[in-house]
């Protein structure tokens, strides 16, 4: 596996592979890999001839006062993990390679970027959409892999890819969980002591919703109230939102029908956590 730092070099590698008729997969990441990342990489490895993982802690998606400096980083460990699943290249640019002096163009996915997490983290999805659009141009893969755990990010990226006519397939990979149900995230490293147990409340609330839907409940407010009750039982956790919405426009639903996203966000100690489940409701 080769580490590539320059945009021009990785583009050349991918263009040559494509010219030779090979299918190229891209897994965009900010590093500090866990099983969730490895699952994206394994899926890409199984479906593509050449796989590139990009590792770039993108400064433009962090707001003032957020954890850009503290964001966990361990390049050598990440390189070993990517190698263990047989990847071909790590694209690991410096910030100046991605955002040279004078950079002033941004991608804004209107309507999807200022709701839910976007309302709490203004500018976050503009930073995500911008860097992902750049990565799609720099690494012109046919297939790109993202985790379902970041459901809103997934919706923003799918919209952006469709609206800007990127000729690629966005593949959503199911959330990987710890044995006790906690969704894997690089930020779980911030969970120490009691916070680690408290963090389970997100998955618990989602399982409550899942149980109700399975039992035939279709009333959105009943489900939302039951989930709220799960959070109320744990006042140390600061719930930001419970959303019951469609998976494309992320608009609140009045009735459960079709593909339904139930998403939660909460602050647990120093960590801001998100989680979700998608249901196919008859």
Which residues contact ligand PAF (rule: CB under 6 A)?
28-30, 58, 61, 128, 131-132, 150, 153
Q: Is the dihedral of CA 266, 268, 270, 276 positive or negative?
A: negative
CB atoms within 10 A of CB 249: 12
Comparing CB distances to ligand PAF, the nearer of 150 and 195 is 150
Comparing CB distances to ligand PAF, the nearer of 61 and 276 is 61
Helix, strand, or coil here: 163? helix
* Phi, psi angle pair for 56, to nearest 5°: -150, 115
What is the set of active-site residues? 37
CB of 119 to ligand PAF, least distance (A): 17
Q: Which residues pair with 244 in a beta bridge?
A: 262
Comparing CB distances to ligand PAF, the nearer of 223 and 263 is 263
How far is the C-alpha of 31 from the C-alpha of 79, rounded, in Å? 9
Which DSSP helix (H) or strand (E) runs through 155?
helix 151-163
CB of 56 to ligand PAF, least distance (A): 7
**Side by side, which strands form the sheet with 169-173?**
2-4, 89-91, 50-55, 24-29, 143-147, 169-173
CB of 70 to ligand PAF, least distance (A): 16
Comparing CB distances to ligand PAF, the nearer of 45 and 126 is 126
CB of 276 to ligand PAF, least distance (A): 14
């Amino acid at each position: 596996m080769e580490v590539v730092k320059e945009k021009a070099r990785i583009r050349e590698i991918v263009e040559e592979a494509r010219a030779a008729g090979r299918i190229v997969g891209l897994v965009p990441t900010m590093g500090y890999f866990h099983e969730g990342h490895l699952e994206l990489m394994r899926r890409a490895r199984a479906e593509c001839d050449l796989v590139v993982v990009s590792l770039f802690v993108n400064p433009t998606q962090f707001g003032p006062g957020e954890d850009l400096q503290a964001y966990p980083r361990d390049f050598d460990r990440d390189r070993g993990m990517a190698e263990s699943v047989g990847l071909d290249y790590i694209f690991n640019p410096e910030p100046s390679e991605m955002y040279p002096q004078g950079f002033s163009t941004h991608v804004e996915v209107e309507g999807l970027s200022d709701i839910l997490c976007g309302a709490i983290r203004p500018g976050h999805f503009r930073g995500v959409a911008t860097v992902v659009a750049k990565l799609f141009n720099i690494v012109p893969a046919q297939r790109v892999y993202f985790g379902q755990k970041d459901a809103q990010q997934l919706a923003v990226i799918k919209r952006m890819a469709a609206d800007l006519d990127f000729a690629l397939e966005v593949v959503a990979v199911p959330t990987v969980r710890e044995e006790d149900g906690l969704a894997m995230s690089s930020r779980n490293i911030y969970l120490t002591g009691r916070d680690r147990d408290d963090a389970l409340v997100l998955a618990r609330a989602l399982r409550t919703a899942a149980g109700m839907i399975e039992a035939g409940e279709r009333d959105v407010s009943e489900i939302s109230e039951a989930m709220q009750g799960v959070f109320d039982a744990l006042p140390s956790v600061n719930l930001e939102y419970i959303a019951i919405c469609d998976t494309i426009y992320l608009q609140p639903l009045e009735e459960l029908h079709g593909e339904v996203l139930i998403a939660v966000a909460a602050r647990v100690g120093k960590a801001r956590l998100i989680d979700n489940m998608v249901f196919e409701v008859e």
